[in-house]
Structure 1
Amino acid sequence: MFSLNESNRYYLYPYPTDMRKSFYTLSGLVTDQMGKNVRDGDAFIFISRNCASMKILHMEYGGLVIYHMKLEQGYFHVPSIDTEEGRIKVVETFWSDLVMMVQGIDSSKVRRHKRNMPATFNCNKL
């Protein structure tokens, strides 16, 4: 339990969600609207219309888990979504973006620095 971390894949549902929805109806949104399989172990993020409530649906070892956060004041800063290409089904996001949303940081005002990715280790060069 409580196994969300940076190794998971995160998908944001880009439309307001009724927070009365629970396991089966959120799973239906994942399958029917997002085109994903809830059993793959990915985390699916849903935000309410007023952006004051968030649910994360995640399949863990024992079954489905819903993390629910409701803000007493303020709102979640949802990343900007480009909808010029028509109806968007899902937005892949990162652990760091989820953490910034939960902590109240506006990701559009954050400057990301370039990072080097290490080359793969080649045993033939030894």
Structure 2
Amino acid sequence: MIPLSVNGRVYLACGATDMRRGFDGLAVMIQEVLAQDPHSGALFAFRGKRGDLVKLLWWDGQGLCLFAKRLEKGRFVWPAAATGTVSLTAAQLAMLMEGIDWRAPIRSWRPGLAG
């Protein structure tokens, strides 16, 4: 589990990423393409072309951590933009990693009246 604070920064890299990239390749992409610092403590998420694989790159203060998740069914919901980044909250990241549409989650119950 990645210990993200409530105010932790999470960035999705828009478009498809070559999933053969590892620590160094993704860190260079963060610097050159996304114009961000890979050692800032923010978490960066990348999705492959097929949409079923996500890699997360995160600096924990001592080194880079690389996490990967592949869905057996379905695809990760990703922004339609081909370039740039989208910022997420920790809760939206949790939904994304579960395969839930983080853009418009459906609430199962809502109170009608108080009391």
Shorter chain as denominator, the TM-score bin is 0.7 to 0.9
- Correspondence for 1:76: 76
The CA distance in 2 between the partners of 1:50 and 1:21, in whole Å, is 15
Higher RCO, 1 vs 2 (CA within 8 Å, ≥6 residues apart) = 2
- Correspondence for 1:93: 88
Q: Percent identity, please.
A: 27
Q: Which residue type is aligned with residue 36 of structure 2?
A: K
Equivalence map 1:33-112=2 (5 Å)? 33-78=33-78, 80-81=79-80, 83=81, 88-110=83-105
The CA distance in 1 between the partners of 2:71 and 2:30, in whole Å, is 24
Structure 1 residue runs without a partner (length 5+): 113-126
- 1:10 touches 1:94 (CA, 8 Å); kept in 2? yes
Q: Deviations over 1:58-85 (max 9, x none)?
A: 001220001110112211122x45x5xx
The CA distance in 2 between the partners of 1:48 and 1:105, in whole Å, is 17
Q: TM-score, normalised by structure 2?
A: 0.81
Deviation at 1:4, TM superposition (A): 3.2
Deviation at 1:88, TM superposition (A): 3.9
- Correspondence for 2:27: 27
- 1:35 touches 1:89 (CA, 8 Å); kept in 2? no
Q: TM-score, normalised by structure 1?
A: 0.75
SS at match of 2:39: helix
Closer, same or farther in 2 for the Cα pair 1:63/1:108, shift >3 Å?
Answer: closer
Q: Deviations over 1:5-52 (max 9, x none)?
A: 433100110010111100100001100000000111100000111110
- How many pairs does the alignment contain? 107
Q: As a proportion of its length, which structure holds more helix?
A: 1
The CA distance in 2 between the partners of 1:69 and 1:25, in whole Å, is 18
The CA distance in 2 between the partners of 1:8 and 1:49, in whole Å, is 27
Provide the aligned C-alpha RMSD in A: 2.1
Larger Rg: 1
